[in-house]
Amino acid sequence: MLPSGKYQIARLGQPSRQMTLSEINYGLASGEVMPDDQYWIKGMPRWERISDLSGVILPTSPKTRAPMVPSTVSRSTVASPEPVISTNRNGSASGNLSFWSQPETKPRLAVWAPITYLLLSVAFTPLTGTVLIAQNHRATEETTWRGIAWFWLVVWSAFFIVGLSLHFAAVPCGPPMYWLLGFISLSVAWFFTCALPHRGFLHTRSYEAAWRNDWGKPVGFGFLAWVIVFTVYLLSH
């Protein structure tokens, strides 16, 4: 999922222009924008085809290419993607890239696979999965979804800290069934607002994912948390 805002839209031989997603869809319907034109927005490592942009509505029948109306924003005021030098497989520079050039390879980022954070969430509560999702968004530098992950970190931490504190302090806080229903409700909300959207985010990535397999640290912290909880529970009884 890409951030909202104005995208840089360009085609070969013409200056770029800024368009919102709704303007892109209107341009596709009128023929002013074609599916094989390219788009870029701040944070993307390279230009992509408009047909690959999430949220676009491609026309059902081919359109005749209409002339693109240049934007009032000049090329010099628009920041281009970071890669400006093409490298060979051995890492040597092969010359400057043009406005339309693409990096030869997508950047590789180490991220947790969806099956990993979902399984660890089942074993050690969604708090563990939320930590892994936050690490993924930190690696991809995606700020919007990272904020959502941090929101759920606060929610789950508050839920467990308040619940355990009330229990061990022998403060009446309702039947355990209420807490179980609350945990289930939060888990369902977390799955549909954090875990599932993040899975879709990974599937529309513009980088090569190097799935992390260093399970030792999250599994160790998960077991340690359960050991502490059960130890304190046994000592309190």
When pLDDT is cut at 50, 70 and 90, the band that residue 84 belongs to is very low
State the Cα–Cα distance between residues 24 and 18, nearest whole angstrom: 10
Question: Please, are residues 133 and 194 in contact by the beta-carbon 8 Å criterion?
Answer: yes
State the Cα–Cα distance between residues 142 and 218, nearest whole angstrom: 22
The tokens describing 16, both together, are: 């770029």
pLDDT of 58 strictly over 80: yes
State the Cα–Cα distance between residues 148 and 130, nearest whole angstrom: 10
State the Cα–Cα distance between residues 146 and 70, nearest whole angstrom: 35
Instruction: Name the DSSP class of 200.
Output: H
The tokens describing 173, both together, are: 């806080």
Q: What is the dihedral of CA 181, 186, 188, 194, to 10 degrees?
A: -170
pLDDT digits (tens, 9 = 90+) for 153-181: 999 989 888 887 787 677 777 677 888 89
pLDDT digits (tens, 9 = 90+) for 9-28: 887 656 678 888 888 888 88
State the Cα–Cα distance between residues 25 and 99, nearest whole angstrom: 23
Instruction: Name the DSSP class of 191.
Output: I
Q: For the chain, what are the domain ranges?
A: 7-96, 108-236
User: What count of other Cβ atoms lies within 10 Å of the Cβ of residue 65?
Assistant: 13
- pLDDT on residue 193: 92
Predicted TM-score (pTM) of the model is 0.51
- pLDDT on residue 67: 55
